Amino acid sequence: MITVLDKERVGEEDMQNAFLLEDYLKMSDAEIAAGIERARETLGSRVVILGHHYQRDDVIAHADLTGDSYQLSVMAAQRKDAEFIVFCGVHFMAESADILGQPHQKVILPDLGAGCSMADMATVEQVEDAWEQLREIGVLKQKVAPITYMNSSAAIKAFCGRNGGVVCTSSNAVPLFDIYLKEYDKMFFFPDQHLGRNTGAKFGIPLEKMALWNPFEELGGNTEEELHAAKLILWRGHCSVHGRFKPWHVDQVRAEQPDIKVLVHPECMREVVEISDLNGSTSFIINTVTNAPSGSKWAVGTELNLVLRLQKQFPDKEIRLLAPDLCMCATMYRIAPQNLAWALDNLVAGRVVNQIKVDDATKHYALIALERMINLTEQNQSKKN
Ligand code: 13P
Ligand code: SF4
């Protein structure tokens, strides 16, 4: 549940006095940046600002901590002292921070329009209906693990928590698939078909053992036999930003620069990932480019703001966007410095705006799935070290 202004906390009169976002839209960039820093100083350790790698530079400049979706969820769980977690990212990330945070903490999303079109491609009602259909045809007599990508609603995370499943992100999908594929007969993965297919392929699962579930068709558009035979059932969802990268973009950059390396996010379609040189989460992409030798050449298939930042940080390396057209996540971009300044000034004045709150029943089971993810990821990391 989202509240634009926390009425119980501030009362009607203060609500009238709340700072108006439209006033911030009239200010200069310099005034906004100075205002954010002033508010941060006043709030001190009461506030922590988290920024996802896809945020624009003028927002990242004010973040205390930056990371990929997995790292940010761990950071949110660790910053127990901060009263306010201001999340510069998208809605599902802020929800996860609220689930993992402490009861006294309040999570704020500076623009409530910052959603994720992929997360919206699966509703919990559709997922529950799909699960019942699988039960009716006897598929659930086998051990089936429901696994959701972090890019999903809290309600879907709770569904996974209730049914023995887990959450994963692009940075830990491989170790979590490894565990679940060994322990279960099959996996039902939502909502990103591409991450599911790309990860399944890493375990040698053939495409004919991966069924695609279309929520608008009976049995997801499959026959009973196909669903019984499948090792992986993939929800028909995708990222509209990463979906813009096509195999011919890879061919084109290689034709122009034969020594270029193609590095993509696993939300890209299978046909792109299988011909790329490397694929991995936003952190993997950053680490790969950071550790690459000076003079190396990279075509990067991920969100525009991250690629532009890498170009600025590493002028000694040749870094280009894999596709020339605009691959920008418009919802991530909704978080502008003006929204951040407005949210922080309201906090300074004792008003909590744009709070993201997950109800207690959902939180209980979603926390099980998120904690399972963090524990299994940490166990896997310590095994490797
Ligand atoms: P990461 O898990 O790599 O941060 O990606 C999140 C995301 O939304 C990518 O589109
Ligand atoms: Fe969602 Fe794609 Fe934007 Fe990531 S890049 S937040 S998956 S729409």
**pLDDT tens string 243-288:** 999 999 999 999 999 999 999 999 999 999 999 999 999 999 999 9
Q: Would you place residue 326 in the very low, low, confident or very high pLDDT band (cuts 50, 70, 90)? A: confident
pLDDT, average across residues 232-244: 97
Handedness of CA 306, 309, 314, 316 (dihedral sign): positive
**pLDDT tens string 142-167:** 999 999 999 999 999 999 999 999 99
Looking at the fold, whether 228 and 131 belong to one and the same domain comes out as yes
In a domain, 359, yes or no: no
In a domain, 1, yes or no: no
Is residue 75's pLDDT more than 70? yes
Is residue 5's pLDDT more than 60? no
In a domain, 175, yes or no: yes
Looking at the fold, whether 19 and 99 belong to one and the same domain comes out as yes
Is residue 18's pLDDT more than 70? yes
How far is the CA of 223 from the CAs of 133, 134, 230, 258, 308, in angstroms?
12, 11, 11, 44, 45
Q: Would you place residue 324 in the very low, low, confident or very high pLDDT band (cuts 50, 70, 90)? A: confident
pLDDT, average across residues 228-235: 98
- Protein residue whose Cα sits closest to atom 2 of ligand 2: 239
DSSP percent split of the chain into helix, strand, coil, nearest 5: 50, 15, 30
pLDDT, average across residues 210-227: 98
Atom of ligand 2 nearest to the CA of 89: 6
Looking at the fold, whether 230 and 369 belong to one and the same domain comes out as yes
Number of domains in the chain: 3
Q: What is residue 16's predicted lDDT score, i.e. its pLDDT?
A: 52
Label the pairing between strands 210-213 and 106-108.
unpaired
Q: What is residue 15's predicted lDDT score, i.e. its pLDDT?
A: 54
In a domain, 358, yes or no: no
- Protein residue whose Cα sits closest to atom 1 of ligand 2: 116
Is the pLDDT higher at 11 or at 41?
A: 41
- In total, the chain counts a number of residues equal to 385
CATH classification of the domain holding 16:
3.40.50.10800
User: Any residues with CB less than 8 A from the CB of 375 and at least 6 apart, and which?
Assistant: none
Axis-axis angle for helices 360-384, 91-100 (nearest 10)? 90
Looking at the fold, whether 67 and 161 belong to one and the same domain comes out as no
Q: Which amino acid is at 246?
A: K
356/339 Cα distance (integer angstroms): 15
278/276 Cα distance (integer angstroms): 6
- Protein residue whose Cα sits closest to atom 4 of ligand 1: 68
User: Any residues with CB less than 8 A from the CB of 210 and at least 6 apart, and which?
Assistant: 196, 197, 200, 230, 231, 232, 233, 234
Instruction: Please report, rounded to a whole number, the percentage of residues in the chain having pLDDT higher than 90.
Output: 89
Backbone torsions φ then ψ of 199, nearest 5 degrees: -75, -40
Handedness of CA 323, 68, 206, 369 (dihedral sign): negative
Rounded to the nearest whole angstrom, what is the distance from the C-alpha of residue 350 to the centroid of ligand 1? 32
In a domain, 72, yes or no: yes
Q: What is residue 384's predicted lDDT score, i.e. its pLDDT?
A: 81
Say which ligand is closest to the CA of 192.
Answer: 2
- Protein residue whose Cα sits closest to atom 6 of ligand 2: 116
Looking at the fold, whether 298 and 317 belong to one and the same domain comes out as yes
- Protein residue whose Cα sits closest to atom 2 of ligand 1: 69
Q: What is residue 7's predicted lDDT score, i.e. its pLDDT?
A: 45
pLDDT, average across residues 85-98: 96
Is residue 129's pLDDT more than 60? yes
Looking at the fold, whether 109 and 127 belong to one and the same domain comes out as no
Looking at the fold, whether 147 and 229 belong to one and the same domain comes out as yes
Is residue 10's pLDDT more than 50? no
Does 315 sit behind a cis peptide bond, omega within 30 degrees of 0 on the bond before it? no
202/301 Cα distance (integer angstroms): 19
The domain containing residue 84 runs over which residues? Answer: 7-115+332-353
Looking at the fold, whether 341 and 319 belong to one and the same domain comes out as no
Is residue 137's pLDDT more than 90? yes
Looking at the fold, whether 295 and 270 belong to one and the same domain comes out as yes
Looking at the fold, whether 24 and 100 belong to one and the same domain comes out as yes
Q: Which protein residues are within 6 Å of ligand 2, measured from CB?
A: 90, 116-118, 151, 239-241, 267, 303, 329, 331-332
Q: What is residue 17's predicted lDDT score, i.e. its pLDDT?
A: 59
pLDDT, average across residues 222-239: 98
In a domain, 2, yes or no: no
Q: Which amino acid is at 4?
A: V
Rounded to the nearest whole angstrom, what is the distance from the C-alpha of residue 229 to the centroid of ligand 2? 31
Is residue 1's pLDDT more than 50? no
**Which pTM was predicted?**
0.93
Q: Would you place residue 317 in the very low, low, confident or very high pLDDT band (cuts 50, 70, 90)? A: very high
Looking at the fold, whether 180 and 216 belong to one and the same domain comes out as yes
Q: What is residue 14's predicted lDDT score, i.e. its pLDDT?
A: 53
**pLDDT tens string 355-371:** 999 999 999 999 999 99
191/132 Cα distance (integer angstroms): 17
Q: What is residue 124's predicted lDDT score, i.e. its pLDDT?
A: 98
Looking at the fold, whether 140 and 227 belong to one and the same domain comes out as yes
